């Protein structure tokens, strides 16, 4: 398995485009993305657990009942959440995409990202969808990735190649997310394509399992968005034998999906609003997977931990405090903790008790772009990783004027 170029367009038969149509006032910013497969795809998706859901999610729940799709249309600049005519606009966008592409309206996945609670209009779709369809390209991944960005500083895209049944398969993805990120699957969106032949039920099973240790383990600011969506399309053009819900082919496919998902998760966390560092919390020695996941995510959600990392302050007591107030019941009498970056590690806590450490070495570790908090509960063999970032002055500046 290896990384390759072309992002979401790396798999056979997938094209993408990204253009400006008017959702955003800044004409230099692309705000409409289109992804299209030359053949109909098995499709799977997961959505936000927020009780308030965007209109596009309501439409997608209907469209994906048969486990099939062929295109994704997504705008940025308006979340289409709590808009008076939101479902009507989302449905209209699907209709326009279907007409431009010559496919069934129900084979279109629709997504939106941006400000919640603003009126939504169909006119930009009417103007832009035909143009986006004409711009579709096998080299369109970056344009599409840029079109779904809001406060993101960088486009997020990745692709890998792998082998199933003696056939080369490819998988690619794009994602956006910088603030309001605490998926319980943020305004977090991720679209993944593959040319592997995967049955719809197996595709959904793989995605449902994957998000537990990837997208659900991200937190930028603890706010779960109304629009979170991860959609996965598989068009089967690689020609491998159909992947079912179990077996070697399914395991290989899940490994590829994990590689793509983790790369995009890290990109989202590192690009958190105002962030200067990617923060990874690795919890090992947990009695079960649930404890490992919840403890690691609790730690990277702690504002006090995040600000200490920003200030390069080895205030490890804040980390142990977060371990202690995490939801599961478990013993905290024998916790070990290290601060790490690259090959350098500094032990700061042993058996839940302070140990002497080199402050300068700790500061050096916390000054790097990627900081890992290594926590061993010494209670079992399960582990998990959560992904976050530091909390800086710029987060307040960005979100204090996000709407205006």
> How crowded is the C-beta side of 249, counted as CA atoms within 13 Å?
19
Contact (CB, 8 A) for 129 and 32: yes
Taking alpha carbons only, the member of 165, 193, 190 closest to residue 39 is: 193
- CA-CA distances (angstroms) from residue 63 to 30, 67, 163? 26, 8, 30
Share of the chain above pLDDT 70, in %: 96
pLDDT at position 228: 84
- pLDDT digits 0-9 by tens, 172-214: 999 997 655 455 544 589 999 999 999 999 999 999 999 999 9
Q: What angle do CA 267, 142, 188 make, to 5 degrees?
A: 45
- CA-CA distances (angstroms) from residue 320 to 89, 194, 208, 325? 48, 41, 31, 9
Active site residues: 187
Question: What is the SS3 assignment for 278?
Answer: strand
- pLDDT digits 0-9 by tens, 370-379: 999 999 999 9
Taking alpha carbons only, the member of 247, 230, 259, 246 closest to residue 162 is: 259
Contact (CB, 8 A) for 280 and 372: yes
**Entry pTM:** 0.91
Q: Say which residues have a Cβ less than 8 Å from residue 99's Cβ, sequence separation at least 6.
A: none
Burial state string for 293-307 with b = 16 or more CB within 10 A and e = fewer than 16: bbbbbbbbbbeebbb
In the predicted model, what is the mean pLDDT of the chain?
93
Average pLDDT over residues 292-300: 96
- Neighbour-count burial of 401, counting CB atoms closer than 10 A to its CB (0-12 exposed, 13-18 middle, 19+ buried): exposed
Kindly state the greatest CA–CA separation across the chain: 68
Residue 312: pLDDT band (50, 70, 90) is: very high
**For domain 2-270, which architecture applies?**
4-Layer Sandwich (3.60)
Domain residue spans in the chain? 2-270, 278-400
For the chain, what percentages of helix, strand and coil (3-state, to nearest 5) are there?
35, 30, 35
Residue 97 belongs to what H/E stretch? helix 86-101
pLDDT at position 397: 81
Distance of CA 133 to the CA centre of its chain: 25
Q: Which residues pair with 15 in a beta bridge?
A: 36
pLDDT at position 358: 96
Taking alpha carbons only, the member of 62, 156, 54 closest to residue 111 is: 54
Distance of CA 212 to the CA centre of its chain: 12
Contact (CB, 8 A) for 73 and 34: yes
pLDDT at position 399: 73
Taking alpha carbons only, the member of 85, 58, 86, 90 closest to residue 73 is: 90
Ramachandran quadrant class, 130 (left: phi over 0; alpha: psi -120 to 50; beta: rest):
alpha
- pLDDT digits 0-9 by tens, 82-136: 999 999 999 999 999 999 999 999 999 999 998 888 899 999 999 999 999 999 9
- pLDDT digits 0-9 by tens, 51-95: 888 999 999 999 999 999 999 999 999 999 999 999 999 999 999
Residue 38 belongs to what H/E stretch? strand 32-47
Q: Which residues pair with 72 in a beta bridge?
A: 35, 109
pLDDT at position 185: 40
The third-level CATH classification (topology) of the domain covering 278-400 is Ubiquitin-like (UB roll) (3.10.20)
Question: What is the SS3 assignment for 298?
Answer: helix
Tokens representing 210? 């994957």
- CA-CA distances (angstroms) from residue 366 to 268, 273, 395? 20, 19, 19
Phi/psi of residue 329, each to 5°? -95, 125
């Amino acid at each position: 398995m290896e990384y390759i170029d072309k992002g979401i367009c790396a798999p056979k038969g997938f094209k993408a485009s990204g253009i400006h149509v008017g959702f955003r006032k800044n004409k230099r910013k692309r705000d409409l993305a289109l992804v299209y497969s030359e053949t109909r795809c098995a499709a799977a998706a997961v959505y936000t657990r927020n009780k308030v859901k965007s209109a596009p999610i309501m439409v997608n729940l209907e469209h994906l009942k048969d486990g099939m799709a062929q295109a994704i249309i997504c705008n940025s600049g308006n979340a289409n959440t709590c808009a008076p005519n939101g479902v009507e606009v989302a449905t209209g966008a699907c209709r326009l995409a279907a007409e431009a592409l010559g496919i069934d309206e129900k084979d279109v996945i629709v997504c939106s990202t941006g400000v919640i609670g603003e009126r939504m209009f169909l006119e930009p779709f009417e103007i832009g969808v035909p143009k986006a369809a004409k711009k579709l390209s096998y080299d369109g991944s970056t344009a599409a990735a840029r079109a779904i960005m809001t406060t993101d500083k960088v486009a997020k895209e990745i692709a890998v190649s792998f082998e199933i049944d003696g056939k080369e398969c490819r998988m690619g993805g794009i994602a956006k997310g910088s603030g309001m990120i605490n998926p319980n699957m943020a305004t977090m969106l991720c679209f993944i394509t593959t040319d592997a032949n995967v049955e719809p039920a197996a595709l959904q099973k793989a995605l449902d399992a994957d998000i537990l240790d990837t997208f659900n383990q991200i937190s930028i600011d603890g706010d779960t968005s109304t629009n979170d969506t991860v959609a996965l399309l598989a068009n089967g053009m690689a020609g491998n034998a159909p992947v079912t819900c179990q077996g070697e082919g399914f395991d290989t496919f899940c490994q590829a999906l994990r590689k793509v998902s983790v790369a995009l998760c890290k990109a989202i966390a590192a690009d958190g609003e105002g962030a200067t560092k990617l923060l990874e919390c690795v919890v090992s020695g947990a009695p079960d997977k649930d404890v490992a996941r919840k403890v690691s995510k609790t730690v990277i959600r702690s504002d006090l931990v995040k600000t200490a990392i920003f200030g390069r302050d080895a205030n490890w007591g804040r980390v142990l405090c977060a371990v202690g107030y995490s939801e599961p019941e478990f013993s905290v009498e024998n916790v070990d903790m290290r601060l790490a970056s690259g090959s350098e590690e500094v032990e700061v806590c042993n058996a839940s008790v302070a140990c002497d450490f080199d402050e300068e070495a700790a500061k050096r570790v916390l000054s790097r772009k990627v900081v890992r908090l290594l926590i061993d509960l010494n209670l079992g063999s399960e582990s998990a990783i959560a992904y976050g970032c530091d909390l800086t002055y710029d987060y307040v500046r960005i979100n204090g004027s996000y709407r205006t």
